Structure 1
Amino acid sequence: MADIKHHLTDQLLMGYAAGTLPEAFSLVVATHVSLCDECRSRLGEFEAVGGEVMMSAGSVSMSNDAFAATMALIANTPEAPQKRYAKGIFPAPLQDYVGGDKDDVRWRPVGGGVRQMILASDGGATVRLLHIPGGVAVPDHGHRGLELTLVLQGAFKDEADRFGVGDIEVANEELNHTPIAEEGEACICLAATDAPLKFNSFLPRIAQRFVKI
């Protein structure tokens, strides 16, 4: 198990438990929780509270055939095939999106040796895998909204701290930073954003429309 020092906020865990997060953020949260005992335990507490709230909620009237109709829908829903992937650096929630592990990723260059793969998601936010060679920096930028960055391989440092495997950085409008991958193996991250980044130099701003970040 990775030595995880940076965790999810209560707000994100509560949103995930309630099902109110965009799909992109839910994927990052699910992937982190699969790696982190502490956040998995906290999530269980929020889910238990949600269950108690549901149990104490008032009843509503339903049609006489509601139960039969629900059971018919369940019976007619085809069973999803079981997927088996080789063990790698991607936890199961992410492997289901990629269709495998890092060797199955369809990387596309975005400049400076950095590569990405945008994953399909709905709900007003985007999620991507980033492959940053050791020693390479992502251009200095700020945020117009929320950005979650989960490290899957390697590590990076920025003005806030160092982030290794399993760590998650929660960045908002208050943070301007220049993430730099540590020397050695490439840093692979899963990152979700709900608004375009604010790059502080001209060339990254020009390239932004093409790389959709």
Structure 2
Amino acid sequence: MKHEINHHLTDALLMGYSAGILPEAFNVVVAAHVSLCDDCRARLTEFDAVGGEVVAMGGTAKMDPDSLTRTLAAIAGEPPAPDADVHAARTHADPGVLPQPIRDYVGGDLDAVKWRRVGGGVRQAILPTSANASVRLLHIPAGCAVPDHGHAGTELTLVLQGAFRDETDRFGTGDIEVANEDLDHQPVAEDGIDCICLAATDAPLKFNSMLPKLAQPFLRI
């Protein structure tokens, strides 16, 4: 089922993804959103084209004679990594909840997710990515709220099922919220269907109440 997407990625995030300079955790969220959003996918294609032209216009660099041999040897010795590339995520034949970039990390759709309870009926599953940012799936029961919090960095939240509201707007399936240090909010899942989100952060959240602050080191949020 096609959902109308009203909240999109910023140009800065799309350019960062195209240039390969985002943290892995953010790459997963961007790739998942672009796999669902025709608008952002078209904008990303434009940024990819500009980047290609810049590379083509650049000069050639001197390389050691054995550079190719050493590069191929390094590639051969690397284990296969989960594929967060948006170009591998553009088939929509499978009607599951999780886009392909997320399934590559989980190993399947929702039935493959290893959830962990974090309180208030909310569950999470942290995906294995590099240490400079973290990304997790969140399962928020319909009608429930997550603790109110601010941000010490950037938080990207992509809705995969259901919807939530906060002090800024409503975010439905396919929408992405980009939060920074200026935003304090308390997302609340809408009634009717549980809300499933993918959330990436590059700094710990700043919870406003004591209990979440105490649990924060154990929940790795």
Question: Is residue 117 from structure 1 mapped to residue 118 from structure 2 by the alignment?
Answer: no
The corresponding residue for 2:185 is 177
CA contact (8 A) 1:86 1:101 kept: no
CA RMSD between the two structures: 2.3
CA contact (8 A) 1:153 1:187 kept: yes
Q: Provide, for residues 137-177 of structure 1, a one-character-per-residue CA deviation record: whole Å limited to 9, x for no partner.
A: 01110000000000000000000100000000000000000
**Distance in 2 separating the partners of 1:86 and 1:38:** 21
What is the CA distance between 1:62 and its match in structure 2? 2.6
What is the CA distance between 1:63 and its match in structure 2? 3.8
CA distance change for structure 1 residues 78 and 140 in 2, over 3 Å: closer, same or farther?
closer
What is the CA distance between 1:66 and its match in structure 2? 4.5
Q: How does 1:1-213 map to 2 (within 5 A)?
A: 1-64=2-65, 66=67, 69=69, 73=73, 87-213=95-221
CA distance change for structure 1 residues 110 and 13 in 2, over 3 Å: closer, same or farther?
same
Q: Provide, for residues 155-212 of structure 1, a one-character-per-residue CA deviation record: whole Å limited to 9, x for no partner.
A: 0000010000000000000000010000011100000000110111111111112111
Identity of aligned residues (%): 63
Q: Provide, for residues 49-77 of structure 1, a one-character-per-residue CA deviation record: whole Å limited to 9, x for no partner.
A: 1101000111112344545x279659957
CA distance change for structure 1 residues 180 and 119 in 2, over 3 Å: closer, same or farther?
same
The corresponding residue for 2:89 is none
Q: Could you say what secondary structure the match of 2:217 adopts? A: helix
**Distance in 2 separating the partners of 1:59 and 1:156:** 50
The corresponding residue for 2:87 is none
CA distance change for structure 1 residues 150 and 61 in 2, over 3 Å: closer, same or farther?
same
**Distance in 2 separating the partners of 1:99 and 1:116:** 16
Q: Could you say what secondary structure the match of 1:4 adopts? A: coil
CA distance change for structure 1 residues 28 and 77 in 2, over 3 Å: closer, same or farther?
same
**Distance in 2 separating the partners of 1:168 and 1:78:** 33
Which residue identity is paired with 1:210? F
**Distance in 1 separating the partners of 2:131 and 2:10:** 20
CA distance change for structure 1 residues 175 and 71 in 2, over 3 Å: closer, same or farther?
closer
**Distance in 1 separating the partners of 2:122 and 2:197:** 11
What is the number of residues matched between the two proteins?
210
CA contact (8 A) 1:86 1:100 kept: no
Which residue identity is paired with 2:4? D
Q: Provide, for residues 7-33 of structure 1, a one-character-per-residue CA deviation record: whole Å limited to 9, x for no partner.
A: 000000000000000000000000000
